[in-house]
Amino acid sequence: MTEDTSAYWRKLLGVDGPVPPGVANSFRSSCSLFRPLLFFLFGLASRVFFPIKAYGIDNIPPGPVMLTPNHVSFLDYPCMAYAMGKRSWELYAIATKKYVDNPFSKFFMLCAAHVIRIDADADFFTALRAAAGVLRSGHSVAIFPEGTRSKTGELQPFKVGVGTLAVEAGVKMVPVYIKGTENILPRGGRWLKRGKVKIYFGKPVDPAPYIELKKTTPAYDIYKEITEELRRRVEAFRDSSKK
Amino acid sequence: MNNDLENEIRALVAKVIKKPEAQVGLDTNLFTDLGIDSLLGIEIFAALDKKYKVDVPESKLREVQTLRDIIRIVEEALKGGK
């Protein structure tokens, strides 16, 4: 008997039927009109205070992907998006309700990305379904696999939901390691300090071989394995950047 | 509560969460006592769906803390109740 338990997960994620019409448009906001201006100003500020250097940008394949950076600072998303240039203008990002529900941070978030709000306690699968729909409609999504900013600066465990989304939406995950933002605006910090930011984009983790494993392996174990592979790749960047 | 069903579900839960059956008491909290994460909790229902063809709605998943909760939900689903 096959061990495949993914049918239930696929139902929860709503990935078996056609993509719901307008799912991607439902996360667009008129604030996105300010996006070029925001990134222009961000670029000016970064040149003065925290120059950004990106490595491996060509590792981002064409088509919908998940960008999966480590998370130590509020600067992580804008730095990564700025490093990606115009391609980030169409990027969707999963953000926790705490910041999406705050009018001040909400404005900046909506300027910086098409935001998918997640409430991990109350409607976790609503957000994952939305992200799956956005990916399946051909758009890329940024998601912080640690779930929240690291309190210590160290890489935290990655949430298995990231691997679940990659396998069931059938999209590659680009490991991203951001170094330096933890010194410029650390968690709890209120003022920017000067520093340098380095961003490493790794070769994508392809879900195809993991999808093949479904015949013999319970779905959760597959999601966990691909999530751990992703973390190993980000960890490798962290280790090599220390040398 | 049906003893055969209880034993079957206990065995299934233990297999999914990779713990000895003896650790999965009727009122053992799967999350706080056995330390499973919420998505492994979903995998339990994915395995139950596969075995019993019980389509447990997402809203019910949040009610689950113990084996007793799971058995109750499966019994209701098998009876066609909500």
pLDDT digits (tens, 9 = 90+) for A188-233: 888 889 999 999 999 999 999 999 999 899 999 999 999 999 999 9
pLDDT reported for residue A2? 64
Distance separating alpha carbons of residues A60 and A52, to the nearest angstrom: 18
Which residues in chain B are closer than 8 Å to A5, comparing Cβ atoms?
Answer: 43, 46-47, 49-50
Cβ separation A218–B49 shorter than 8 A: no
Residues A55 and A199: beta-carbon distance below 8 Å: yes
Q: Which residue has the tokens 């250097």?
A: A53
CA of A122: which chain B residue's CA is closest?
B62
A219 at interface of B, judged by CB pairs closer than 8 A = yes
Distance separating alpha carbons of residues A81 and A144, to the nearest angstrom: 13
A147 at interface of B, judged by CB pairs closer than 8 A = no
Q: Which residue has the tokens 């991607």?
A: A24
Residue A86: C-alpha distances to residues A23, A26, A144 (Å): 22, 21, 20
Q: Give, for A117, the enclosing helix (H) or strand (E).
A: strand A114-118
Give the residue from A231, A242, A243 showing the smallest Cα distance to A68: A231
* Residues in Cβ contact with A225 at an 8 Å cutoff, skipping those fewer than 6 apart: A163, A210, A213
Domains of chain A from N-terminus onward:
6-14+23-242 (3.40.1130.10)
B59 at interface of A, judged by CB pairs closer than 8 A = no
Which residues in chain A are closer than 8 Å to B16, comparing Cβ atoms?
Answer: 218, 220
pLDDT digits (tens, 9 = 90+) for A81-123: 999 999 999 999 999 888 888 988 999 999 999 999 988 777 7
Mean pLDDT along residues A122-142:
92
The ipTM, to two decimals, is: 0.88
Distance separating alpha carbons of residues A208 and A172, to the nearest angstrom: 9
* End-to-end C-alpha distance for chain A, whole angstroms: 49
* DSSP annotation string for A18-86: PPPTTTTGGG--GGGGGHHHHHHHHHHHHHHH--EEEE-GGGS-SSSEEEEE--SSTTHHHHHHHHHGG
Query: Residue B82 pLDDT > 50, yes or no?
Result: no
pLDDT digits (tens, 9 = 90+) for B20-52: 999 999 999 999 999 999 899 999 999 999 999
Residues A82 and A52: beta-carbon distance below 8 Å: yes
Domains of chain B from N-terminus onward:
3-77 (1.10.1200.10)
3-state DSSP helix/strand/coil % of chain B, to nearest 5: 60, 0, 40
How big is chain A, counted in residues?
A: 243
Distance separating alpha carbons of residues A102 and A114, to the nearest angstrom: 16
pLDDT reported for residue A170? 96
Q: Which of A3, A220, A224 to mutate to test the interface with B (most CBs of B within 10 A)?
A: A220
Distance separating alpha carbons of residues A113 and A90, to the nearest angstrom: 7
Between A and B, how many residue pairs show a Cβ–Cβ distance under 8 A? 40
Which residues in chain B are closer than 8 Å to A220, comparing Cβ atoms?
Answer: 16, 39-40, 42-43, 46
* End-to-end C-alpha distance for chain B, whole angstroms: 17
pLDDT reported for residue B2? 76
